[in-house]
Structures are given as C-alpha cells and as structure tokens.
Amino acid sequence: MTFSAGRRARKPGHEHPHTHTQGITPAPSHVPRQAQRPHAHGARAHGAHAHTADGLHGPARSGAARGGGGPAPRSPASQYRRMAAATALNIAIVLGQATAGLMVGSVALLADAAHNLADAAGVAFAMVAIRLARQEPSASRTFGGLRWPVLAAQANAASVLVVTTLVCVQAAGRLAHPEPIDGLAVLTVALAASLGNGVSALFVYERHGDLNTRAAVIHLASDALVSIAVAAAGLVIWLADGWYWLDPALSLTVAGLIGAQALRLLAESSRVLLEAAPAGLDMSAVHSDVLAVDGVTGVHDMHVWSLSDRVLAASAHIEVAGHPTLEEAREVADRVKAVLAERHGVEHATVETECEPCAPTGSDPCGVRAVMTRRASHLIPAHRH
C-alpha cells in the first residue's frame, strides 16, 4: 500500500480551493524519442522535467539520496556474465558434494549439495531478471521491466526458506539418530565447497547492488557459511570419534541464520511490490517539505512508493494561492518536484495543481485560454466551476 495523506494540509489563512487546472506538456525536446517513457498518470498538470538515462522522469538521485557515494554500479551485461560464471561453479560444487555425501554417508554434505542446487537456480533467476529488467516500456507495461528484479529477489528468498526448512527436517532426524561418518572426507569436501562458494559470492557482490543482486549474493554467501559449518563438524568428528551428532547440529544452526536473512529479503521485496512507503522515508517530513515550498498553500492525496528498490515515485495534489496562470502554477509544481528529488530521492514525481475559485465568466481563469492559444497541440484543458 502507498502512503496517502488522510486529510488536507493547508497553510494558515487559506481557504480550500475547489477549481483544478490540468494539462500535459510535451517531453523536453532534447530527450530522444526512444528514451521517453510513456506516462502512467494520465492528464495531470505537471511541469517540464528532465529524463534520466533509463527514461524515468526527474533528476537522477544523488549519492547522498542513494545512501552514499562509491563506485558506479556494474553494467547489466557485466553482472550477467559474472552470475553465469558463478552458476557454473555452483553446479560443479553440487555434483562434487552430492557424490561425496552419498559415499561417506554425511547428511550435512547432502543437505549442503541441495542448498547449493537451490542457490544455483536462484542465481539463474537473477540472471533472467537482469535481462527482463532491460525491457522497454510498452502500452501495457508503461515502466518496462523495473519490477522484474524485485520479483526475482522474492522468488530467491522464498526458495532459500524452502531449502532451509528441508535442511532442518533432515538434520533433526539425523540428530535424533546419529550415524557414523568419515570426518576427514567431510572436512576436505566442505572446505573445497566453501572456497568455491566464497569466490562466487565475491565475484557477484556489488556494493550498491539492487535487491536482485543482493539475493544472489545471499544465496552464495549462505552456501559458503553452510560449507564452513560442515567442515568444522567434519574436523571435530575426525579428531574426536563419536561426535557424530555435531554434523546435523551445526546444519540446524546455520540453516536458522540463513532463514532469518531470507525473511528480511522477503520483507523488503514485498514492501516494494505492495507499493508501501519506502523503508526509512519519513512521510511526515516529506509532507512538511512540500507544504513549505513557496507558493504552496496546501497538499493532499500524497503518495510515495518504489518502482524498484532503486527508483522512487511520488504523486500529490498541491493547492496554489490566488489566480495563477498555468505557467506560474507549473513553476510551483517544478519547485515541489525539485524538493522531492533533492531531499528525498524521488526520481519520478507527478504533481497536480489546484487554484482558488475561478474568476468571473468571460475572463481567463488560471491562464488556461492564453496557454491553449500557444500550445493547442500539447494541452488538454480540464476546467470546471
């Protein structure tokens, strides 16, 4: 759910206006046609605004708005190749662990192999999402593939929860009925697997990666942790004969830690899909900042949500004092968009202006008639008394 202001907020001394002026202005002429994303918000009045490189409206979010500076994100093609290499390495690890687990009778190795297999599938999901996220906008999908990485992150988190549940079930059974295993073999195979998984996680890791990339890293890092736990169990079993219960016990512990991480990722991706207000965003502060903009006397119907975990969008109705022309109202709307972008990292903002009651019949209320004369081909007026 998006945040919605339940009541109108107005600066003291202003009555509630009831007349709306609406219109659409053309995209800036300097933006290539193929880079202009279709609007999904209808014929609302909003001023000219810049387009980012991916076609979204509004200024690009600064490093501060994005949570700090640092190196630029990798290109989708580069990240795709890295994930493909990590998937291939993971599949090789699965084959080695499964073979060794069957030979020495280690449930921890078999569980880790199953975990690796699920994670290889999870990274493959992430690879597909990277390709789908590059889809261009269409008439039915006006924002293109922005949500695909979020869907992939949710699928990855759900798959981790399923696998960790299976690991817990198997480990609980073996904990109740321990069986002898070859500790040295378990130690050797698990160390090799943890090394491979660690290399894969570092290969895919990106400091400011999106939910999709973070999900893939969690998959690979969790594999490395499980393998380390299995190696530790193998070492103890090899040195202290009879401690066979340690094999499933450590598996249960690590599975619980991984499950907690997956739950957090599932909650984050669900928040985006439910279009809730972004985590960490103070809606009261956003409301106050908009109301403080010069020319704004009231604000209502405000919503802020995430198009993806990196791109924020907002919509709001603002009330403008007096009888401004459409150009003057647009200037106020532009100031609101600038505040939303600079202070709260909103890249895509739709602002509808509302003015005082219309002027007497025969005049030009809010400058609609004058603007229609100059921009008849670009303006869709909406005026009522």
Three-class SS state of 304 = strand
Report how far apart, in Å, the C-alpha atoms of 296 and of each of 21, 320, 366 are. Answer: 15, 5, 15
pLDDT by 10s per residue, the chain, length 385: 434 444 455 555 554 444 444 433 333 433 343 334 344 443 333 433 433 333 343 333 433 344 444 555 556 677 778 878 888 888 899 899 889 988 887 877 887 887 788 778 777 777 777 777 677 878 877 777 778 878 877 887 888 888 888 878 888 888 888 888 888 999 999 999 989 888 888 877 766 566 667 777 877 887 888 788 788 888 998 998 778 888 888 778 877 877 887 888 888 888 888 888 888 888 999 999 999 999 898 999 999 998 876 788 999 999 998 888 888 888 999 999 999 999 998 988 999 988 865 444 444 445 443 333 333 333 334 444 4
Residue where one domain finishes, among candidates 256, 273, 290: 273
Cβ(234)–Cβ(187) below 8 Å: yes
Same domain, 200 and 160: yes
Instruction: Tell me whether residue 188 is in a domain.
Output: yes
Same domain, 47 and 112: no
Same domain, 214 and 228: yes
Same domain, 84 and 228: yes
Q: How many Å separate Cα 23 from the centre of its chain?
A: 31
- DSSP class of residue 112 equals H
What tokens does 324 get?
A: 């401004």
* Residue range(s) defining the domain that contains residue 286: 9-66+277-374
Same domain, 299 and 178: no
Domain count, the chain: 2
**Looking at residue 73, what is its pLDDT?**
59
What tokens does 276 get?
A: 């809730």
Question: Kind of pairing, strands 312-320 and 346-355?
Answer: parallel
Same domain, 209 and 295: no
- In DSSP notation, 120-169 reads HHHHHHHHHHHHHTTPPP-SS-TTTTTTHHHHHHHHHHHHHHHHHHHHHH
Same domain, 16 and 60: yes
Instruction: Tell me whether residue 181 is in a domain.
Output: yes
Cβ(23)–Cβ(326) below 8 Å: yes
In sign, the C-alpha dihedral spanning 301, 306, 312, 313 is negative
Same domain, 246 and 154: yes
**Looking at residue 208, what is its pLDDT?**
54
Same domain, 192 and 315: no
Three-class SS state of 205 = coil
In sign, the C-alpha dihedral spanning 9, 11, 15, 18 is negative
**Looking at residue 290, what is its pLDDT?**
93
Same domain, 234 and 106: yes
How many alpha carbons fall within 13 Å on the CB side of residue 174?
26
Report how far apart, in Å, the C-alpha atoms of 251 and of each of 112, 209, 242 are. Answer: 9, 29, 17
Question: Kind of pairing, strands 312-320 and 19-20?
Answer: unpaired
Instruction: Tell me whether residue 204 is in a domain.
Output: yes
**Looking at residue 101, what is its pLDDT?**
86
What tokens does 281 get?
A: 């965003």
Same domain, 99 and 136: yes
Residue where one domain finishes, among candidates 273, 297, 321: 273
- Spatial separation of the C-alpha atoms in residues 40 and 345, rounded to whole Å: 20
Q: What CATH number does residue 356 fall under?
A: 3.30.70.1350
- Spatial separation of the C-alpha atoms in residues 186 and 188, rounded to whole Å: 6
Same domain, 149 and 170: yes
Type of residue at 79: Q
Cβ(5)–Cβ(302) below 8 Å: yes
